[in-house]
């Protein structure tokens, strides 16, 4: 099995685990603090990787363009992401991230020149079908009812928006890594994210309440942040080795574990219909990752 597949699966497992652990502890009062900790706790390992990877790369215009275009989009995605997993079931929200490879077909070709094969396209079709069947029980009210049900579920809407944003930032991240290194881009990118999220937290926490919010959230954020750091590091190294659309498709196997966590940890309902959709998506991922 190629190393990039192993790294992508590692990232998928760690991301799904981090999301499930975050959902157990996240509230409307601490969601921004937990988001910030998940960024900041990845920095020591990322900078250690930079130190071990040799001389620092030279910064060029493509790197800077990718970096500063992706940064505000990433911040928006982070804020929407934590709100989505707080307000909606994991088994219903996380699978919609599988739309990212669909968006990446066009976006990756436009930004990086990387296309997909016929089998890759078939995999994308399965991913789309799986997404539609996530609300399979709603078909009793009409063929278009699952789409209407998506409209009623705020977390799913958020995830669809996030999927589109992540398609853009993943392609930009591929450019940034290609013009520097996986460790350097990851470390500088997450450092900038942490700095940009700080004033948002100050405003959200209220005057003079930031330290109290961070202190209160520190313990509950440690374990989710550990898994998120591992997901981040494996993500950047995997994306440096592979076609970005294929790498993200493999990483989206995290949705299967997300459905499982939703059932086991949170007693979420309608898991069977959502698992069927998730399995269709996984079949698409297999085509994309293994036969393209």
Residues 185-204, mean pLDDT to the nearest whole number: 89
DSSP 57: P
Can you tell me the distance from the alpha carbon of 99 to that of 124, in angstroms, rounded to the nearest whole number?
9
- Domain spans in the chain, listed from the N-terminal domain onward: 3-290
pLDDT in tens, 215-262: 888 888 889 888 988 999 999 999 999 888 888 888 877 877 877 888
Can you tell me the distance from the alpha carbon of 219 to that of 226, in angstroms, rounded to the nearest whole number?
12
- Reported confidence tier of residue 72, pLDDT bands at 50, 70, 90: very high
Half-sphere exposure of 66 (CA within 13 A, CB side): 25
3-state secondary structure of 243: coil
pLDDT at 208: 63
pLDDT at 156: 81
- CB neighbourhood size of 261 (10 A): 22
Output the six-digit token pair for 25: 């502890």
Model confidence at 138: pLDDT above 90: no
Give me the chain's average pLDDT, please.
83
Residues 271-280, mean pLDDT to the nearest whole number: 76
Nearest to 135, CA basis, from 281, 274, 260: 274
Bigger pLDDT: 223 vs 129: 223
First-last CA distance in the chain: 14
pLDDT in tens, 102-116: 888 888 888 877 777
Can you tell me the distance from the alpha carbon of 157 to that of 155, in angstroms, rounded to the nearest whole number?
5
Nearest to 95, CA basis, from 129, 53, 45, 56: 129
Model confidence at 193: pLDDT above 80: yes
């Amino acid at each position: 099995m190629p190393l990039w597949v192993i790294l992508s699966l590692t990232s998928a497992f760690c991301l799904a685990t981090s999301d499930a652990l975050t959902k157990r502890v996240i509230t409307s009062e601490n969601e921004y603090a937990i988001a910030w900790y998940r960024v900041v706790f990845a920095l020591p390992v990322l900078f250690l990787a930079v130190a071990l990877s040799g001389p620092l790369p030279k910064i060029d215009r493509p790197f800077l363009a990718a970096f500063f275009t992706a940064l505000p989009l990433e911040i928006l995605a982070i804020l929407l992401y934590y709100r989505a997993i707080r307000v909606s079931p994991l088994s219903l929200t996380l699978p919609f991230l599988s739309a990212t490879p669909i968006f990446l077909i066009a976006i990756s070709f436009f930004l990086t020149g990387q296309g997909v094969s016929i089998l890759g396209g078939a995999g994308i079709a399965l991913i789309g079908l799986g997404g539609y069947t996530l609300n399979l029980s709603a078909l009793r009210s009409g063929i278009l009812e699952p789409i209407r049900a998506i409209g009623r579920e705020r977390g799913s809407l958020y995830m669809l928006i996030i999927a589109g944003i992540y398609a853009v930032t993943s392609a930009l991240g591929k450019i940034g890594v290609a013009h520097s290194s996986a460790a350097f881009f990851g470390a500088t990118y997450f450092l900038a994210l942490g700095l940009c999220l700080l004033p948002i937290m100050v405003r959200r926490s209220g005057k003079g309440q930031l330290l109290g919010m961070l202190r209160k959230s520190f313990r509950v954020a440690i374990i989710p942040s550990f898994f998120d750091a591992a997901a981040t590091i494996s993500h950047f190294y995997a994306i440096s080795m592979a076609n970005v659309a294929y790498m993200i498709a493999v990483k989206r196997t995290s949705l299967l574990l997300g459905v499982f966590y939703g059932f086991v940890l949170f007693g979420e309902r309608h898991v069977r219909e959502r698992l069927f959709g998730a399995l269709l998506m996984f079949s698409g991922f297999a085509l994309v990752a293994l036969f393209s």
